[in-house]
Copies of this chain bind each other. A is one copy, B any other.
Amino acid sequence: MGGPAFLGKQWHARYRAQRVAEFGAYCREQGLAVTPQRVAIIRALLSAEDHPRADQIYARVRRQHPHISLTTVYRTLEQFCEMGQARKVTLLHEGARYDGNITPHHHVLCVGCQRVFDIALPEADGLLHDRERLGEFVLLRCLVEIQVLCGQCRRKGQNSTGARPRRQRPVQSAAQS
């Protein structure tokens, strides 16, 4: 097909199992206690395939841990990001979303339904690798965000953003890039 490599489900299941298994060791390595809350949150994050927000993780974890607090979820997700066990994804202008997949990849976002998909994009990864410095700047990371309209949203026909005429004035040339 020649389409880019979307990261699929078989891959995900196997990856998740390994990550959960290694989690305790990672915590100890980082000097963090292995608490039930942390385990529950990493499980929820790794089971998720929808790049959930903190409050969604909270809702899911609460099924098993009714007493967990939202504060703990926020705090813990942030820690996971710091220790490299999660990625924070900031797209458009909603709240932060979290990604348990820490392999190199980028994001495809449907601007209609706001769903996010992981995508491997090797040609983008090499984008700036040949010049470790941009002038004085030290390159840390290069993120690509691909905005699309998914099949569902396209069918619903969301192209209603055109110029709206003021009063009776007939609008002629309202081309938009």
Contact = CB atoms under 8 A, between A and B. Distances in A.
Interface string A127-163: 1100101111111111111111111001000000101
A82 B161 contact: yes
Which secondary structure dominates where chain A touches chain B? loop
A18 interface: no
A127 B111 contact: no
A108 B164 CA distance: 34
B164 A136 contact: no
Interface of A: 1-4, 6, 28-33, 82-84, 88, 90-93, 96, 102, 108, 110-111, 119, 121, 123-124, 127-128, 131, 133-151, 154, 161, 163-167, 169, 171, 173-174, 176-177
